């Protein structure tokens, strides 16, 4: 019927048409329907199958048209999102953030291109907005580590939602109190 479509809707009210058929006639009709939806262009084995198949064929065509319209709508929406200015801006920002110092080339990593990477300041500000006593130096170091690692966490997993990942990381960051108690901790990092 269509490339990528692997389901059909079999309506409950079709039972009335099958109820009055013999098992042999019903079997031929079902077989014909299955061959049709699998694009085998079947020839009806007899006149009864041909006549009974017409309303099924019409409904299957309507369902296919509806499916194709939904698929096209989803495709158009995805294309519109990808072509939007904000996606291009985020992709460009990601490319410029990942410069290779040795070769002065932009490293294009799919994970980075597809995801928004905040600025260091935005990252630290968000961290402080969630927990005020977090050491901003330590938060900045966490940001640097993710950027240096290709916008991946310490386990090598891509950072898909940085705000969510940061909220889960905040309890493990040093606080300003810990920094006051051990001022050499900043120098040791």
Q: Is the pLDDT of residue 70 over 70?
A: yes
- Reduce the DSSP state of residue 8 to 3 states and report it: coil
Gyration radius of the chain over CA positions: 30
Kindly report the pTM of this predicted structure.
0.43
pLDDT for the residue numbered 116: 76
Q: How far apart are CA 121 and CA 70, in angstroms?
A: 42
Which residue is listed with tokens 């961290």? Answer: 127
pLDDT for the residue numbered 44: 92
Average pLDDT, the chain: 79
Distances in whole angstroms, Cα of residue 160 to Cα of each of 41, 48, 166: 46, 58, 11
Percent of the chain with pLDDT over 90: 23
Confidence of residue 95 (pLDDT cuts 50, 70, 90): low
Q: Convert the pLDDT of each residue in 107-129 to its tens digit.
A: 444 444 446 788 999 999 999 99
């Amino acid at each position: 019927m269509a490339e990528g479509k692997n389901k059909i809707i079999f309506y409950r009210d079709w039972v009335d048409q099958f109820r009055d058929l013999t098992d042999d006639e019903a079997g031929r009709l079902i077989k014909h329907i299955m061959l049709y939806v699998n694009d085998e262009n079947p020839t009806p084995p007899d006149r009864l199958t041909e006549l009974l198949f017409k309303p099924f064929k019409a409904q299957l065509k309507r369902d296919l048209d509806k499916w194709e319209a939904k698929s096209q709508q989803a495709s158009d929406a995805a294309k519109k999102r990808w072509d939007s200015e904000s996606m291009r801006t985020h992709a460009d920002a990601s490319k410029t953030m990942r410069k290779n110092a040795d070769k002065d080339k932009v490293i294009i990593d799919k994970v980075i291109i597809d995801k928004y990477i905040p600025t260091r300041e935005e990252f630290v500000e968000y961290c402080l907005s969630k927990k005020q006593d977090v050491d901003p130096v330590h938060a900045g170091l966490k940001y640097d580590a993710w950027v240096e690692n290709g916008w991946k966490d310490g386990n090598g997993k891509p950072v898909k939602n940085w705000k969510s990942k940061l909220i889960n990381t905040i309890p493990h960051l040093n606080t300003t109190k810990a920094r006051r108690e051990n001022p050499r901790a900043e120098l040791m990092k």
